[in-house]
A and B are shown apart, each in its own frame.
Chain A
Amino acid sequence: MFVVARAELHAPKQEIALLANALNLLVPMSTDDGEFHGPSILEFFPGALLFEGTYFEINRIQLVRFVAVAALILVFWLGTRRMSVVPGRFQSLVEMGLDLVRVNIADDLLGKKDGRRFLPILTTIFFMVLFMNLTGVIPFLNIAGTSVIGVPLVLAIVAYITFIYAGIKKSPKNFFKNALFPSGVPWPVYIIVTPIEFISTFVIRPVTLTLRLMMNMIVGHLLLVLFFAATQFFFFTAGGGWAVLGVGSLAFGFVFTLFEILVAVLQAYVFALLTAVYIQLAVAEEH
């Protein structure tokens, strides 16, 4: 899982390309064939249900997010309500999840002391992303709460503020020197290196955090809709010999549902891990 995760860190461009491909594939079908209802980008912008036109408009996506938040709170409330030194099955499971963040992300990258400081942020990021990703494969919810830009953007801003805060709190001089003027470079090179470093640290990082997560979830949703809509079309609209193809598209839909679960966990892990990496780079004495 970790090897895949590290490879993920360098692949935002592929994801954007993947999204473009998916959109190119999908949109024409919905217009060419009147009977086939293909996936559309509009699914991420459903009509308002409450408070339309205000800053507190609630649509289907918000409801899915609320369900995810409620499920998260329920799971962790039940898991930590009566904790015992010798854990039961459910408590073990909850502890395993919390340990993944505490041991594999926070303590590994930041050490015991800083790991403890930033653990609430990292845990929140990991589980919020995880639960909102998983709504994408839950029947009747069927859309990831993270597939609309709000959540990825808010979390990316949180990560951004957190690592800048961590760096400035530790030592403003060191932080900006490490970020903008890497050591071991002759001074004329700074003319090129410093703007590059500035853009990569203070612009690219939050943008990639946001887009990687959102694009993964959008593409995942569109793929699932494509497979299951095609299955519906082959079985019930086309019928006859086309049903054979329906079996194939259904199998693909099933496989991609499993794949989406993997992606959901992976993206949550990557988001939390990258946040920890950025904090670690910010508080490092020297690169």
Chain B
Amino acid sequence: MLHAVLRAAEEGHEATPNPVLPELYDIVWSAVCFVIILAFFWKYVLPRVQKLLDERGEAIEGNIAKADEAQRKAEAALEEYTAQLADARAEAGRIREAAREDGKRIVAEAKEQALSEAARVTASAQAQIEAERQSALVSLRSEVGTLAIDLASGVIGESLADDAKAAAVVDRFLADLEASEATAGGKK
């Protein structure tokens, strides 16, 4: 049927070319186009694209390396910080411990001082008391002696002028008094 059609077409026109048979100029220009495009892609486009792809790959690798580096740094910083924190904690503990020791020592010292002060105060008070007692004793003795002699003089009607006698009387009297006191104290 196609042949009939082509024959019919041939009647109208001079000759219908067969589309499957190539003309030489057709081949020539096709080859020229091909060579131009091939050269363009081979020498211009593809090397540039390849270069770009390499650059892009490098950029990605570079970024990954950078990120790794940053992570490593961050980790190191964290480690350092943690170590510093631990150090600081230990230091604080030490200081606290020392403070506690100091406190104890200060308290002990204060206690000791207070005790010694108290002892000193006590001792001086006792000494004073003793001295006052002695003086009281002495004054009492002389007053009591005089009083007793006056009393006795009155009683016996004679003056005990003789000092030696008087002293002996007073002494005996006091000795008796002390002895009676001592017995009373012992019975108590």
Contacts and interface: CB of A to CB of B under 8 A. Distances in A.
Interface of A: 20, 23-24, 27-28, 30-31, 40-42, 44-45, 51, 54-58, 61-62, 65-66, 68-69, 72-73, 76-77, 80, 83, 85, 95, 98, 102, 119-121, 123-124, 127-128, 132, 145, 148-151, 153-155, 158, 211, 214, 218
Interface string B40-60: 111011101101100110010
A128 B55 contact: no
18 contacts: A30-B9, A41-B19, A54-B25, A55-B25, A72-B40, A80-B45, A85-B56, A102-B49, A124-B37, A124-B38, A124-B41, A128-B33, A128-B37, A149-B19, A149-B26, A150-B22, A211-B20, A214-B19
Given A28-B8, A40-B9, A123 B46 contact: yes
B5 A85 contact: no
A-B pairs, 9 with minimum CB distance: A150-B26, A150-B30, A57-B25, A120-B42, A27-B5, A154-B30, A151-B30, A124-B38, A83-B52
B156 interface: no
B188 interface: no
Contacts, number: 134
B22 A72 contact: no
Interface residues of B, number: 42
Nearest to B1: A24
Given A55-B25, A65-B29, A98 B45 contact: yes
Interface stretch (B10-18, B84-92, B98-106, B168-176): B10-18
B158 interface: no
Contacts of B48: 80, 83
Interface of B: 1-2, 5-6, 8-9, 11-13, 16-17, 19-31, 33-34, 36-38, 40-42, 44-46, 48-49, 51-52, 55-56, 59
A65 B2 contact: no
A80 B47 CA distance: 10
Given A58-B29, A123-B41, A28 B34 contact: no
